[in-house]
Amino acid sequence: MQNLTPIPELFVSSESAEKLKNEAADLPSWDLSARQVCDLELLMNGGFAPLKGFLGEADYDSVVENMRLSDGTLWPMPITLDINDSFASTVEPGQDIALRDSEGVILAILSITDKWVADKSREAEKVFGADDIAHPAVNYLHHKAGKVYLGGPVVGIQAPVHYDFRRRRNTPNELRAYFRKMGWRKVVAFQTRNPLHRAHQELTFRAAKETQANLLIHPVVGMTKPGDIDHFTRVRCYEAVLDKYPQSTTSMSLLNLAMRMAGPREAVWHGLIRKNHGCTHFIVGRDHAGPGKNSAGEDFYGPYDAQHLFKKHEAEINVEMVDFKHMVYVLEKAQYEPIDEVEKGMTVLNISGTELRRRLSEGLEIPDWFSFPAVVKELRRTRPARHKQGFTVFFTGLSGSGKSTIANALMVKLMEMGGRPVTLLDGDVVRKNLSSELGFSKEHRDLNIRRIGFVASEITKNGGIAICAPIAPYTATRRAVREDIEAFGSMVEVHVSTSLEECERRDRKGLYKLARAGKIKEFTGISDPYEEPVKAELVIDTEYAEVDNCAHQVILKLEQMGLIAG
Ligand code: PPS
């Protein structure tokens, strides 16, 4: 049964908030991570009701083991405040702490009741089904979350401020009030982290029709799966599709949830959150909130596990599940139909997410039967064809291997082609400007390379070409730089594999002689390591090729990867 009376929030009145804010200025304070800000927002506005704060140890144990709070209430997801060791050593149960956003604004006060070191492997096994870092939430748990958890009730001072799409963001009570005002007694919610194409429009429209309910498109704009299309683009896409629905029965609201990609448990969680937002029905699809493949290349969850778990707890969630029909385009009928209803002999068309990404990156046509022109236009603006995107060519190799010479030749060739600005971040040049205070210890080399990676990733993000030519002797650091860059475009690692003997024979700067004589310490190849890349996109040996030819090899590689038009 739908209940549209206001849901309890954790906020105090604005008068008390002002007072508390002043008092809180003297409290120890914790700067919330992006995920914690999302969690706190939904705690404070009632999206996570009946939770009154971050879970204490007994509730946490019970949620992890049984999907229930210790009083027996169904709650599948541990909402915990993880902190680092150094902050943990300064606070104890019984104390109040201020919770601040990334700009230092005090959002809430937490009264600590519990402080404990979590068994993260158990949490991973029980909540996410496997202690495998291929699962984004398990990776987060082990590599981003702090070791110590704090629990206790929260007093809300102010909601996190959002400057984007303000009119599309609604608290549970705002949505409840809207449904009340509109007389919407039945509301079916559609959760999504992807742009809506025709198949989604068709299935949501059908779900609403079949249940005789109004439709709430309720996309997640907090944190979704790494690699997803950013929410700015997605919201513009959703807005472009909204006029395809009957206006009087459909609404769209943004949910600042940090997803965990926990499949079945996540589906139950999503249902409870939608109940709090005044919905009566919820669409659960195949592989709902699926995290992708595990380290062995298998799916973490069965395709219908989420539907089964939801169904099992449907009465308690108090939201009816509408199972997602996999919609396909039937060519002969020129319309979408659920796959299980398609007559034999018909031609069924479908484009997978991977195929869509390929078509976007290669600038290929995306047919009208698949999506709406306005949606495709938005996607193309964000994901231009690969030959229009920024990228980084990252040379690595010993001192004197020829990196800088080839990098310079490559820069000139790319500038001759035109189209994108080219920036050369040569090892020596960077050391004179960006990293002038650094030496050659492992720590300093890593810092130097991470700085180069940061600049290269910004250039890549903004559609330019960055050419980097440091020694970059450590595999792990090169991998970290790759991650930074690949968030925005391609990274082409080029190993200039000229042998140590040849570099030393050339000794163009006379450094090897000094290094052999012990006059330069920590010299790469002589008294410091060089870890050879195993997965470079290209290996160039300068002993057997002219500079011009070496640079040309890179150009051919870029062409092959679709980064420059042939
Ligand atoms: S690193 O390891 O990537 O941070 O090194 P990088 O910034 O590319 O700097 C390498 C240039 O500094 C000179 N140089 C040394 N290289 C290696 N080890 C030691 N100890 C050292 N001391 C000075 C050297 O000229 C390198 O230039 P390239 O262009 O690579 O020959």
Cβ of residue 519 lying under 6 Å from some atom of ligand 1: no
Instruction: Look up residue 451 and give its amino acid.
Output: R
Domain ranges of the chain: 14-156, 166-255+261-382, 386-560
CB-CB contact of 160 with 107 (8 Å): yes
Cα 320 to Cα 282: distance, rounded to the nearest angstrom: 6
What's residue 385's pLDDT?
84
User: Which residue's C-alpha comes closest to atom 18 of ligand 1?
Assistant: 523
Query: For residue 367, what pLDDT is reported?
Result: 95
Answer yes or no: 294 catalytic. no
Q: Identify the CATH assignment for 14-156 out of 1.10.390.10, 3.10.400.10, 3.40.50.1580, 3.40.50.1240.
A: 3.10.400.10
- 524 Cβ closer than 6 Å to some ligand 1 atom: yes
Q: Which atom of ligand 1 is nearest to the CA of 438?
A: 4
pLDDT of res. 277: 98
Q: Cα of 463 to ligand 1 centre, how many Å?
A: 29
**Which residue's CA is the nearest one to ligand 1's atom 31?**
399
392 is catalytic: no
Alpha-carbon gap, residue 289 to 285, rounded angstroms: 9
Measured distance CA(67)–CA(79) in Å, rounded: 12
Q: Which atom of ligand 1 is nearest to the CA of 403?
A: 29
Q: Dihedral sign, CA of 239, 241, 247, 249? A: negative
From the CA of 431, give the closest atom in ligand 1. Answer: 7
Q: How far is the CA of 400 from the centre of ligand 1 (A)?
A: 9
User: What pTM was computed for the model?
Assistant: 0.80
Q: Let me know if domain 166-255+261-382 sits in CATH 3.40.50.620.
A: yes
Tell me, yes or no, if 194 is annotated catalytic: yes
From the list 561, 353, 393, the residue with the least C-alpha distance to 492 is: 393
CB-based burial label for 29 (10 Å; 0-12, 13-18, 19+): middle
CB of 471 closer than 6 angstroms to any ligand 1 atom: yes
Among 131, 128, 127, which residue's Cα sits nearest to residue 65?
A: 127
Q: Do domains 166-255+261-382 and 386-560 have the same CATH topology?
A: yes
Contacts of 420 (CB under 8 A, 6+ apart): 390, 414, 463, 464, 465
- What string of pLDDT tens digits covers the 566 residues of the chain? 677 899 999 999 999 999 999 999 999 999 999 999 999 999 999 999 999 999 999 999 999 999 999 999 999 999 999 999 999 999 999 999 999 999 999 999 999 999 999 999 999 999 999 999 999 999 999 989 999 999 999 999 999 999 999 999 999 999 999 999 999 999 999 999 999 999 999 999 999 999 999 999 999 999 999 878 899 999 999 999 999 999 899 999 999 999 999 999 999 999 999 999 999 999 999 899 999 999 999 999 999 999 999 999 999 999 999 998 788 999 999 999 998 899 999 999 989 888 898 898 888 999 999 999 999 999 998 888 889 999 999 999 999 999 999 999 999 999 999 999 999 999 888 999 999 999 999 999 999 999 999 999 999 999 999 999 999 999 999 999 998 999 899 999 999 999 999 999 999 899 999 999 999 999 999 999 999 999 899 999 999 889 999 999 999 999 999 999 86
- Any idea which architecture 386-560 has in CATH? 3-Layer(aba) Sandwich (3.40)
Question: Which residue puts its alpha carbon closest to atom 19 of ligand 1?
Answer: 523
In short, whether 428's Cβ falls inside 6 Å of ligand 1 is yes
Under 8 Å between Cβ of 490 and 554: no
User: What token pair was written down for 16?
Assistant: 């008390």
- The SS3 call for residue 387 is helix
Ligand 1 centre to CA of 548 (Å) is: 23
Test site for ligand 1: of 471, 496, 530, most ligand atoms within 8 A of the Cβ: 471
Query: How many whole angstroms from 493 Cα to the centroid of ligand 1?
Result: 18
Tokens 């990733």 identify what position? 457
pLDDT at 228: 86
DSSP-based three-state secondary structure for 557: helix
Eight-class DSSP state of 325: P
Ligand 1: which of 396, 428, 522 to mutate, judged by most atoms within 8 Å of the beta carbon? 428
Interatomic CA distance for residues 460 and 449, integer angstroms: 16
Residue owning the nearest CA to atom 4 of ligand 1? 445
Q: For residues 161 and 239, is the Cβ–Cβ distance under 8 A?
A: no
